[in-house]
Amino acid sequence: MSEKAMSSRPRAERARQVADTLRRQIADAAFADGVLPDEHTLGTRLGASHNAVRDALALLRAEGLITRRQGIGTTVVMPKYGHGLDQLTGLAEALTGHGTVTNEVRTAHSVPRPPAAIAERLDLSRDTEVICIERLRRLGGIPLSLDTTYLTADIGRPLLDRDLTGRDLFALIEETTGERLGSAEVAVHAVTAGPDTAALLDIPSGAAIFAIERLTRLADGRAVDAESIHLRADRLTLRATLRREPAPR
């Protein structure tokens, strides 16, 4: 977009557009040293006015994404990592190369009578045992997500004797069953963190987070893993590569 076209828009809109661009660049690690260029340079690169850049940086600072200090400049507070939604991968697999993902296992036990919604998702009767595993997941010691997982008993019970603190569940499922996972249905919601979730994720109560509902199936189509995942939106960017099918003739 040209500077002239952008300047014809309301100031708040111009700032939002610049903030969107910078947020995307930060997520793509465009500023390798974590330091953003000065306002003049940013304005030149983005074809934006000094006021639009300044307002955009204020928006990003209010989000907690950047900080501005006298004599240092504008720096990224903490990096954001991409988590693809177009491949069935665990968090540790998705963040390979960014550090070690560790899991604090908050609970791992049998549930003789699962909640009705879980039984329905896994296509089980209410009196069928399931295994519940809840983990607080960290990267570099900083919380990333809170995962609550319900597994069919034949799939989940062998996992209770495995390394749940250092391994992804997907890899463990394939290892213990000798079968490949096949597909998953995913729904993503934008929600605010309640007091309990916020305390666990070390974010302010009411902060925006991603709430992901995922139902994972074996290659034969059987549903075996129903998850509710709360992800820190300030640390993870959800990504997908979408392909448009040919128009029907």
The pLDDT assigned to 1 comes to 46
Please indicate, yes or no, whether residues 122 and 196 belong to a single structural domain of this protein: yes
> In angstroms, rounded to a whole number, what is the distance separating the alpha carbons of residues 170 and 133?
13
The pLDDT assigned to 106 comes to 95
Please indicate, yes or no, whether residues 203 and 112 belong to a single structural domain of this protein: yes
> In angstroms, rounded to a whole number, what is the distance separating the alpha carbons of residues 76 and 145?
21
Please indicate, yes or no, whether residues 225 and 109 belong to a single structural domain of this protein: yes
Highest mean pLDDT among 29-43, 74-88, 152-166: 152-166
Please indicate, yes or no, whether residues 71 and 137 belong to a single structural domain of this protein: no
Of 55, 76, 97, the residue that ends a domain is: 76
Cα diameter, the chain: 66
Please indicate, yes or no, whether residues 131 and 211 belong to a single structural domain of this protein: yes
Mean pLDDT of the chain: 87
- How would residue 239 be classed by pLDDT, with cut points 50, 70 and 90? confident
Instruction: Read off the tokens for 21.
Output: 């661009």
Burial of 104-117, coded b for 16+ CB within 10 Å and e otherwise, reads: eeeebeebeebeee
Q: Give Cα separations from 121 to 145, 150, 173 (angstroms).
A: 22, 10, 18
- Report the percentage of the chain scoring pLDDT > 70: 90
C-beta separation of 164 from 125 below 8 A: no
Cα torsion at 134, 139, 143, 148 (round to 10°)?
-20
What DSSP state is assigned to residue 235?
T
Q: Please report whether residue 96 resides in a domain.
A: yes
| pLDDT at position 198 over 50 | yes
pLDDT in tens, 213-230: 999 999 999 999 999 999
| pLDDT at position 180 over 50 | yes
| pLDDT at position 3 over 70 | no
Q: Specify the CATH number for the domain of residue 136.
A: 3.40.1410.10
Cα torsion at 125, 228, 163, 196 (round to 10°)?
-120
The pLDDT assigned to 95 comes to 65
Averaged pLDDT for residues 28-36: 80
| pLDDT at position 51 over 50 | yes
pLDDT in tens, 92-148: 676 666 678 889 999 999 999 999 999 999 999 999 999 999 999 998 888 999 999
Please indicate, yes or no, whether residues 64 and 94 belong to a single structural domain of this protein: no
- φ, ψ (nearest 5 deg) of residue 45: -65, -35
Is the model more confident about 123 or about 10?
123
Please indicate, yes or no, whether residues 143 and 38 belong to a single structural domain of this protein: no
Domain count, the chain: 2
Averaged pLDDT for residues 170-194: 93
SS3 state at 49: coil
Q: Please report whether residue 99 resides in a domain.
A: yes
- 10 Å CB burial of residue 242 (0-12, 13-18, 19+) is exposed
C-beta separation of 84 from 95 below 8 A: no
Q: Please report whether residue 95 resides in a domain.
A: yes
Q: Please report whether residue 46 resides in a domain.
A: yes
Q: Give Cα separations from 228 to 116, 202, 218 (angstroms).
A: 15, 18, 18
Please indicate, yes or no, whether residues 68 and 93 belong to a single structural domain of this protein: no
Please indicate, yes or no, whether residues 88 and 46 belong to a single structural domain of this protein: no
Structural domain containing residue 129? 81-239
Instruction: Read off the tokens for 65.
Output: 């994404």
Is the pTM for the entire model greater than 0.85?
Answer: no
Please indicate, yes or no, whether residues 216 and 123 belong to a single structural domain of this protein: yes
What DSSP state is assigned to residue 137?
E
Of 76, 104, 133, the residue that ends a domain is: 76
